[in-house]
Amino acid sequence: MVAQILGLKLRLLANSLRRTPWQILTLVLGLLYGLGTAVLLVGGLVSLRFVEGNVASSAVVALGAVVLIIYTTLPLVLGIDDSLDPRKFSLFGISDSKLAAALAVASFVSVPTIVIAIMAIAQIVTWSRGFAPVFLALVAAVLIICTCVMSARISTSIAAFLLSTRRARDVTGIVGIIALVSLSPAIVALSTVDWAERGLDVLAQISGVLAWTPLGAGWAIPADAATGDTAGALLKLLIAVAWLGVLWVVWRALVAAMLVTPQRQAASRRYSGLGWFSLFPGTPTGAIAARSVTYWLRDSRYGASLVVIPLIPLVIVFALSIAGVPAEPLALIPVPVMCLFLSWSVHNDAAFDNTAIWLHLSASTRGTADRWGRLAPALIVGVPLIVVGSLVSAAVYGERSILPSLVGVGSGILFSGLGLSSVMSARFPYPAVRPGDSPFAQPQSGTPAGLIQALSFLAILVFASPTIAFVVLGLLYGQGWPLASLASGVVIGLAALVGGVAWGARIFDRRGPQILMLAMRD
């Protein structure tokens, strides 16, 4: 049984290479990235062999705990598909224990497991400081690999079992994005520590706590033996073994539950009325605008952006405040930054339709209606954001004279960004996350998506640069510069918006079939 499922896993891995050349290239690059990361970590672990035992112990335990956390949580956040879902074997009459054991063994065949194994073996070199540390490092390597694999196996199955509905995946994806963005303040706070003077003490305190938890116990076993704490090493060995036993019990119970539980189905909802379609004019532009607003409110791909956009300036403000920047200048940051990312977020909006863009082409929808309709949600959100946000920022800053500058720079960034996005989404669309997929599940293609994203982002800043320059002059010299920033922002922004929509509309009319082809590409 174990051999059959293991062979099945190997065949699945082999079939993953039967893809398009670009997908194979992406897979190879991912493999090289993972192995490159492992090589760097191995170099660090080997170099710790020549460092004092207490210092090496703190570093290894902290690193090991972070690796285990990442290995466990990524399947939940990314919504990784489970190629060996236990429910696929429910009709074969296999006992719970045999199936759980076979699937657990098959889980060892993966690229992440290879990376973990390389690290686990490298830590043996770190503790090659006597017979006892080396022996315990060998035992710890086995425990580390097994703990990581079982943790990932459980989290992957939980993601497939409990997060099978689209709504659950959407919520989990958005929560994951919030968690990832929220880590930035913690990283910034750690960067403020005077590591030259207090770094080792802080690291020792953190690792000292982690070493007595399942996160770091396995990594701390040989460390304690190398530093002479034999009793501590044995206690942590007991913790690591007991935790691995807990993981096995949880995994077997999860397999047993999944084998007799059908896949969850999303609860059907009843809708009445036309919703947003009844609030917009009965024109092609109005219909597209109503549909776009509906997407923004119900589609997790847009929801993720709407959640992240206000978090980005908060992270920036927090980081700068820790660096010692006064609160008054920081009040000027949120509105321009939110306008920047709001306008940039729709630079590939046409691709988000996937197959639905066919409706526009089959109905011979004019490009002008398509372009203005897609911008409606961003304008509905952005214009009040500029007005209310500028008033709040000016109040926090403490001078009303700054209000024209805030409105000018916000308008210039928002309007010019939306105009440029209208052009980019028609001329340079690239495959986007498909409807219903995780916000992280970006399809692979030969289109240079990263380059397009960077160019569109920089183009917005170029158009807004005159207004930003006037804002800086207004902060330095006052006089009529705030009004100049207001005038330049509104004029340049509206000109870029109208011109961008007109240009993008002509491109959409000319390249409709190509846009559909790119939007539908997997």
pLDDT of residue 184 exceeding 70, the answer is no
252 lies in the same domain as 300: no
Considering only 74-83, 302-311, 506-515, which range has the smallest mean pLDDT?
Answer: 74-83
Tell me the HSE value of 197 on the side-chain side, using a 13 A CA sphere: 3
For range 373-384, the mean pLDDT:
93
Q: What are phi and psi of 324, to 5 degrees?
A: 100, 10
Whether residues 318 and 202 share a domain: the answer is: no
Of 220, 244, 259, which one is at a domain's C-terminal end?
Answer: 259
Task: Report how far apart the first and last C-alpha atoms of the chain are (Å, whole number).
Answer: 35
What is d(CA 522, CA 355) in angstroms, rounded to the nearest whole number? Answer: 11
407 contacts: CB under 8 Å, gap ≥ 6: 386, 387, 390, 486, 489, 490
Is residue 273 included in any domain, yes or no? Answer: no
- Answer yes or no: is 271 within a domain: no
**Residue 88 CB neighbours (<10 A):** 12
Give yes or no for residue 227 having a pLDDT over 60. yes
Q: Is 93 exposed, middle or buried (0-12, 13-18, 19+ CB in 10 A)?
A: exposed
- Taking residues 94-115, report their average pLDDT: 83
Same domain as 379, residue 299: yes
In this predicted structure, what is the pLDDT of residue 164?
A: 56
Q: Which of 259, 290, 316 is the last residue of a domain?
A: 259
Q: Which of 107-111, 128-132, 136-140, 472-476 has the highest mean pLDDT?
A: 136-140
Q: Which amino acid is at 484?
A: A
Give the pLDDT of residue 167. 58
Q: Is residue 277 situated within a structural domain?
A: no
Q: In terms of domains, do 226 and 287 share one? A: no
Residue 219 lies in a domain: yes
Tell me the H-state helices in 281-366.
284-298, 300-322, 327-330, 334-344, 358-362
**The pLDDT of residue 455 is above 90:** no
Where residue 270 falls among pLDDT bands split at 50, 70, 90? low
3-class DSSP assignment, residue 206: helix
**Are 223 and 79 in contact, with CB atoms under 8 Å apart?**
no
**Length, in residues, of the chain:** 522
What residues contact residue 48 under an 8 Å CB cut-off, 6+ apart?
A: 55, 56, 59, 60, 126
Classify residue 31: in a domain, yes or no.
yes
Please tell me whether residues 32 and 162 are part of one structural domain: yes
Q: What's residue 190's pLDDT?
A: 52
Contact of 340 with 477, CB cutoff 8 Å? no
Rounded Cα gap, residues 231 and 401, in angstroms: 68
**Same domain, residue pair 462 and 353:** yes
Spatial contact of 491 and 432, defined as CB atoms under 8 Å apart: no
- Tell which residue, 445, 450, 443, 492, has the closest CA to residue 467: 492
Give, in degrees to the nearest 5, the angle at Cα 264 between 263 and 270: 140
What is the per-residue pLDDT for 139? 92
Number of domains observed in the structure of the chain: 2
In this prediction the pTM is 0.63
pLDDT of residue 86: 81
Domain with 399 in it? 282-520
Burial letters for 59-74: b for 16+ Cβ neighbours within 10 Å, e otherwise? bbbbbbbebbeebbbb
Place of tokens 């390597």: 141
Q: Are residues 31 and 133 in the same domain?
A: yes
Same domain, 297 and 381: yes
Question: 362 in helix, strand or coil?
Answer: helix
Same domain, 301 and 157: no
At residue 41, the pLDDT reads 79
Q: Clarify whether residues 40 and 123 are in a common domain.
A: yes
Q: Same domain for 165 and 311?
A: no
290 pLDDT band, cuts 50/70/90, is: very high
The 3-class SS string of 39-60 reads: HHHHHHHHHHHHCCHHHHHHHH
- Binned at pLDDT 50, 70 and 90, residue 323 comes out as low
Which pLDDT belongs to residue 42? 81
CA separation for the pair 330, 335 (Å, rounded): 11
Residue 202 parent element (H or E) = helix 200-210
**136 and 222 together in one domain:** yes
Q: What is the DSSP string of 390-414?
A: HHHHHHHHT-GGGHHHHHHHHHHHH
Cα–Cα distance measured from residue 199 to residue 506, given in angstroms and rounded to the nearest whole number: 59
Q: What is the DSSP track for 338-357?
A: HHHHHHHTTTTGGGGGGGGG
253 falls within a domain: yes
**Domain endpoint, select from 225, 259, 293:** 259
At 93, phi and psi to the nearest 5? 70, 30
User: Is 274 part of a structural domain of the chain?
Assistant: no
pLDDT band at 408 (very low <50, low <70, confident <90, very high): very high
Lowest mean per-residue pLDDT among 2-16, 141-155, 247-261, 400-414: 2-16
Check if the beta carbon of residue 143 is closer than 8 Å to that of residue 66. no
Residue 272, domain member (yes or no): no
d(CA 286, CA 476): 44
